[in-house]
Amino acid sequence: MNDRSSPPVEPWEDGLRTGGDPGTLEFWYFDTVLDDGSTAGFNFFTRPPTQLAGPLKPRVSINIGRPDLRRVREVIDFRADEFSAARDHCDVRIGPNRASGTLVDGFGRYEINLTGKDASANLVFRGEVPAWRPGPRDGELKPGIVFAWLPFIPYGSVEGTLTYDGTVHHVRGTGYHDHNWMNIDMTKIVDHWYWGRAYTKKYRLVFAEVFGRPAALGSAPISAFLVARDTSIVLGDYGQGIPLTLREGDVTMGPGGQTYPQDLDFNWSGSQGRVHLALRKPSIIESFPVEPGNGWYYRWKSELELTVDLDGAHVIDHGVAVYERLLLR
């Protein structure tokens, strides 16, 4: 599916989509790669990701990787009456924490404010690539199964403050924001996924490979691939069977007795040409077990070598990638 065939993303699509009903999950995600060498990621959840049954149980998470790669991670739960969210645009409030923003001419502008025991964040995100909708507006993967992901800021700038170690740090760098909602427990349909974003001076990319449980989603992964040059999307592809392949390199041992590949290669090849991402020398941003079961989450920052052959243009460039692997086993 090419992005040009999809109607423009609208502000209401970043509003509350599930109503917070039992059996559903919704979350608004933001991440940053900052000029001082630090990284940060933030989530606003309607409930814990693997606890869809029962009443609303809102949660926020704060994940900061200091420049020296030491980490601050907080997960804070709140009462149901401490949650509210607008339906016509993004305005999510969980206790004293808030994410708010909208689209202007297709580009997002958002502000987030979070306060934890050991860390806080006050950041403004400005989109430099327009919002992109992979898949249908209702997020249906198959009849009755909603599993939606919508990047409102595939790439943008961020600035503001992070507070940790008792010090306020004034930061700026690159940012990303997406919105996710579903009506099914991820562990019932997903075995594992890779997701990430990457950028060079001219190119910005978002990529994902979701490997489902065959009984639920079939044997082919659900893939998404976005390429933008400066502020324009030049390629957007999504679905099962699109021409995106993933190669995992030799593995190394990580935290918790978990192994992970030292190299990843994504290759897209279609009628417009070819794009190759080589992710090398990953450093762990965060790593922790996922309950219930034997799941595990990894997030890395890595070097990027990018080769683009699209519409007659040939470019080899270098940059940065941030990507994750979620195992649900």
How many beta carbons lie within 10 A of that of residue 289, not counting itself? 14
Residue 280 contacts residue 302 (beta carbons within 8 Å):
yes
Q: Cβ distance 208 to 149 under 8 Å?
A: yes
Residue 117 has which token pair? 């025991």
Residue 292, preceding peptide bond in cis (omega within 30° of 0)? yes
What topology is assigned to 1-184 in CATH?
AttH-like fold (2.40.370)
Residue spans per domain, the chain: 1-184, 185-329
Nearest to 261 by CA among 269, 250, 270: 250
Fold agreement (1-184, 185-329): yes
Those residues whose C-beta lies under 8 Å from the C-beta of residue 39, and which sit 6 or more positions away, are: 31, 32, 33, 64, 65, 285, 301, 322
Amino acid at 184: I
Is residue 44 within 8 A of residue 61, CB to CB? The reply is: no
CATH number of the 185-329 domain: 2.40.370.10
Enumerate the β-bridge partners of residue 269. 274
Do residues 283 and 69 touch, judged by C-beta distance below 8 A? yes
Instruction: State how far the Cα of 247 lies from the Cα of 24, in Å rounded to an integer.
Output: 33
Q: Which residues contact 228 (CB under 8 A, 6 or more apart)?
A: 129, 154, 155, 203, 204, 205, 234
Per-residue pLDDT of the chain (329 residues; tens, 9 = 90+): 344 456 899 999 999 999 889 999 999 999 999 999 999 999 999 999 988 988 999 999 999 999 887 889 999 999 999 999 999 999 999 999 999 999 999 999 999 999 999 999 999 999 999 999 998 999 998 888 999 999 999 999 999 999 999 999 999 999 999 999 999 999 899 999 999 999 999 999 999 999 999 988 888 999 999 999 999 999 999 999 999 999 999 999 999 888 999 999 999 999 999 999 999 999 998 899 987 777 999 999 999 999 999 988 899 999 999 999 999 98
